[in-house]
């Protein structure tokens, strides 16, 4: 399907990869992984012809169709959600218009109507629309959304429509760069199951470990300018990578011992005339050896210990008889929830169900229209969302911002924590004001960790993090002795931290006194009918 040989690409004076090889067979499911900045998205661009390679070859089977989900959806114009999902051409759109006009005006017996029907059938119009509707429903759209103009939706929802279009088209090689970013948990689970039965090949870049474990059967890692294949899903890749490192280290150490032994003979007999030929022979032996390079240690998790928050009262916070509406849309009616000390609650449910609204009311960012919000006398609230940049001092450096938040913590401690969250050496001296939105989000997260409140409210905290940073965050939150309420669509993150699951939909909060798997078992969520397409 796809063959890459001896690919080389340098950018900004730095070689991203050299002599990189990759083979993806028909129907194979492959993930491309590696630290941020190693060139994963660049490989995608080269395959798609959007970036020039320095050398090497890329061959795609001449009969293969490649599909790619752009990171930015662009302006949808006047197209409806269903029109985007069907990916209809101008020809198909014109045929549809003629058929609808004929049915409306009672002119179905004309040659123009018959020609439009023939064209619609020729272009698979009768198959496209039903399939597109099923895919859109799986990705979280309500039936009444299908014919609404896409420009009234957020960018994330428009991206879902473009994702639906790709799934309806079924390209032979489906290339997806962070496809789960715009999905809630329900649509993510549907999407994962759909890909498990996808007839074509997949090439995926993702920071969602559980998603890759559920879909992927082979991993290519970009490391040390090479593409290294590993058979199995992401968890198996981690095991094999660790095994390979220890094997390479043993080979390196064994050769080092062998060279030291030979060198000892050379040093001992270098000045002994009768041993000159043997010395020369051993010098040549060392010179001709294929030197085993010292393997680089895999990037390890940095385990840091941040200060623990002061102990809160047993009842940390509660909402009593709260009503909340946006205009005519009722979100909650007579809502009653309470949160106890050391609770670890994940909020799940479809987008638009009220998860973020509940989080904002708990945080005090939004008020209920009526009812009470009761906060414990010693409760200190921290609310993390994707819009926390306003809390940062734009004139500070990244390093200073963290040191000040951490009560004057040492520079080396702050640098280590920042490194775990993708701030490299030169990044820590940048001014906060020049950071990207993703960098500001990560910096806000670090500030939380070095000065934690005793009630942490977190809305999608893993966005903008790579896999190692997510593990660092999991490690930090496992140590956290306060109360945690969070929203996430990262199943691995949820399984690592949640002890209670609250399902929120249609203004109702249904509480499950167990972790995510307990919720799945008791609720029957994502049953067979949920995945039917």
Contact 368, 336 (CB under 8 A): no
Q: What is the 3-state secondary structure (H, E, C) of 253-299?
A: HHHHHHHHHHHHHHHHHCCCHHHHHHHHHHHHHHHHCCCCCCCCCCC
pLDDT at 307: 79
Dist CA 250 CA 66 (whole Å):
42
**Nearest partner of 5 among 65, 46, 66, judged by Cα:** 46
**Nearest partner of 132 among 177, 174, 169, judged by Cα:** 169
pLDDT at 89: 66
Q: Do domains 1-65+171-232 and 315-531 have the same CATH topology?
A: yes
pLDDT at 252: 93
pLDDT along the chain (533 residues), means of 10: 92 88 94 87 92 92 85 76 81 79 85 86 78 92 90 87 90 91 87 92 93 95 90 94 92 93 90 87 90 81 74 93 92 94 93 89 93 94 74 85 80 84 84 82 84 90 84 88 93 94 92 92 67 52
pLDDT at 533: 52
63 backbone dihedrals φ, ψ, rounded to 5°: -95, 0
Give me the residue spans of the domains in the chain.
1-65+171-232, 74-169, 237-288, 315-531
Per-residue burial over 41-53, b if 16 or more Cβ lie within 10 Å, else e, is bbbbbbbeeeeeb
Condensed to tens digits (0 to 9), the pLDDT of residues 383-392 reads: 988 666 567 8
Please write down the long-range contacts of 258-266, taking CB distance under 8 Å and 24 or more positions apart: 259/286, 259/289, 262/286
Dist CA 58 CA 56 (whole Å):
7
Question: Could you identify the residue written with the tokens 């290339």?
Answer: 175
Please provide the size of the chain in residues: 533
pLDDT at 387: 61
For the domain made up of 1-65+171-232, give the CATH fold: Rossmann fold (3.40.50)
pLDDT at 72: 67
Q: What is the 3-state secondary structure (H, E, C) of 306-331?
A: CCCCCCCCCEEEEEEEEEEEECCEEE
CA 79: distance to chain centroid?
Answer: 28
How far, in Å, are 85, 142, 151 from residue 117 at the CA level?
Answer: 21, 28, 29
Per-residue burial over 285-299, b if 16 or more Cβ lie within 10 Å, else e, is eeeeeeebeebeeee
Contact 472, 301 (CB under 8 A): yes
The CATH architecture annotation of domain 315-531 reads: 3-Layer(aba) Sandwich (3.40)
pLDDT at 363: 92
Dist CA 321 CA 334 (whole Å):
4
Condensed to tens digits (0 to 9), the pLDDT of residues 450-461 reads: 888 899 999 988
CA 238: distance to chain centroid?
Answer: 17
């Amino acid at each position: 399907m796809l063959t890459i040989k001896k690919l080389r690409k340098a950018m900004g004076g730095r070689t991203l990869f050299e002599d990189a090889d990759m083979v993806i067979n028909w129907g194979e499911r492959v993930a491309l992984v590696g630290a941020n900045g190693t060139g994963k998205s660049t490989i995608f661009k080269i395959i798609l012809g959007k970036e020039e390679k320095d050398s090497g070859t890329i061959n795609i089977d001449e009969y293969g169709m490649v599909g790619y989900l752009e990171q930015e959806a662009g302006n949808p114009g006047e197209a409806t959600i269903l029109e985007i999902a069907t990916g209809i051409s101008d020809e198909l759109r014109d045929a549809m218009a003629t058929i609808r006009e004929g049915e409306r005006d009672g002119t179905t017996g004309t040659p123009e109507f018959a020609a439009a029907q023939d064209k619609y059938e020729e272009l698979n119009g009768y198959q496209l629309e039903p399939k597109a509707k099923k895919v859109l429903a799986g990705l979280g759209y309500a039936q009444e959304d299908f014919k609404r103009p896409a420009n009234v939706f957020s960018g994330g929802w428009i991206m879902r429509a473009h994702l639906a279009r790709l799934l309806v088209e079924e390209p032979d090689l489906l290339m997806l760069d962070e496809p789960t970013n715009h999905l809630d948990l329900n649509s993510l689970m549907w999407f994962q199951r759909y890909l498990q039965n996808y007839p074509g090949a997949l090439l995926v870049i993702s920071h969602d470990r559980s998603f890759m474990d559920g879909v992927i059967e082979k991993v290519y890692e970009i490391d040390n300018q090479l593409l290294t294949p590993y058979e199995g899903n992401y968890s198996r890749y981690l095991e094999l990578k660790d095994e390979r490192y220890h094997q390479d280290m043993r080979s390196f150490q064994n050769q080092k011992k062998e060279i030291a032994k030979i060198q000892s003979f050379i040093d001992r007999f270098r000045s002994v005339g009768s041993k000159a030929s043997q010395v020369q022979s051993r010098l040549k032996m060392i010179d001709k050896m294929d030197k085993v390079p010292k393997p680089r240690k895999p990037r390890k998790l940095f385990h840091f210990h941040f200060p623990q928050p002061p102990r809160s009262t047993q009842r940390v916070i509660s909402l009593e008889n709260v009503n909340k509406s946006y205009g005519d849309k009722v979100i909650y009616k007579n809502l009653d929830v309470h949160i106890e000390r050391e609770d670890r609650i994940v909020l799940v449910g479809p987008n638009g169900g009220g998860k973020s609204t509940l989080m904002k009311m708990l945080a005090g960012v939004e008020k209920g229209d009526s009812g009470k919000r009761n906060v414990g006398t010693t409760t200190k609230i921290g609310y993390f969302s994707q819009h926390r940049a306003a809390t940062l001092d734009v004139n500070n450096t990244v390093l200073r911002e963290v040191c000040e938040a951490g009560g004057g913590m040492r520079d080396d401690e702050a640098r280590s924590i920042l490194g775990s969250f993708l701030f490299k050496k030169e990044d820590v001296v940048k001014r906060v004001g020049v950071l990207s939105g993703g960098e500001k989000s990560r910096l806000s997260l670090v500030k939380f960790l070095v000065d934690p409140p005793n009630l942490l409210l977190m809305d999608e905290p893993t966005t903008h993090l790579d896999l190692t940073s997510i593990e660092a965050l999991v490690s930090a939150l496992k140590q956290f002795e306060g109360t945690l309420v969070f929203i996430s669509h990262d199943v691995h993150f949820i399984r690592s931290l949640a002890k209670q699951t609250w399902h929120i939909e249609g203004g109702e909060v249904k509480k499950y006194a167990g972790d995510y798997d307990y919720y799945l078992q008791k609720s029957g969520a994502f049953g067979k009918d949920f995945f039917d397409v």
